[in-house]
Amino acid sequence: MEVDTAFLRSVRGIVKLAEMMTLFVALMCFSAASRPKYIAATVLEFLVTSLLLLLYTLKLNKKLTFFFWPLIDVFNSVFGAALVLVFSLMAVSTYTVRNTLAGGIVGLMAVVLLCGDGYIVFNKITFNKSRNETEVVKVSSVS
């Protein structure tokens, strides 16, 4: 298998890595505070994000063509942001242990990264247009 190091150095790759780091830190904070519902939501989003990062890094998205991976990535970003936002706001507003507050704050940072990732990927998706049409539109709008 070929590793795509260019993806890891791209804006999308850096944002995905930052998402994973913030979700991991939030997971550690919630684990230290022993909050199972927050742990479950954070683990779920961490696993899905890491699987998508692995998919893009190993270029499996080019081999598994039965899904439209950018759209799945956008849906993951949107629903993940909503899920993490709800649980982070609950953690921040009802904390009894400082680790829960820290996990909620880091979770809110992950929400910002998830929204940014969804925005970046959504802007790159073209529906019902060939690649040449989008390049012509981008070149004509720049001129």
Least confident segment among 26-30, 60-64, 107-111, 127-131: 127-131
Residue 125 confidence (pLDDT) = 82
Distance of CA 107 to the CA centre of its chain: 12
Residue 66 confidence (pLDDT) = 86
Closest CA to 81 of 122, 109, 123, 53: 109
Q: Say if residue 111's pLDDT is above 90.
A: yes
CB crowding 18-36: b at 16 or more within 10 Å, else e? bbbebbbbbbbbbbebebe
pTM comes to 0.82
**Dist. CA 69–CA 89, nearest whole Å:** 29
Residue 70 confidence (pLDDT) = 87
* 46, 68, 74, 117 from 12: Cα distances, Å: 16, 17, 12, 7
Mean pLDDT over 87-96 rounds to 89
**Dist. CA 58–CA 138, nearest whole Å:** 29
Q: Say if residue 32's pLDDT is above 70.
A: yes
Mean pLDDT over 94-103 rounds to 88
> How confident is the prediction for the chain on average, in pLDDT?
87
Residue by residue, DSSP assigns 88-139 as HHHHHHT-SSHHHHHHHHHHHHHHHHHHHHHHHHHHH--SS--HHHHHHHHH
Mean pLDDT over 110-134 rounds to 81
Residue 89 confidence (pLDDT) = 93
Q: Say if residue 85's pLDDT is above 60.
A: yes
Residue 126 confidence (pLDDT) = 73
E-strand stretches of 27-97: none
Looking at this protein, which amino acid is placed at residue 61? N
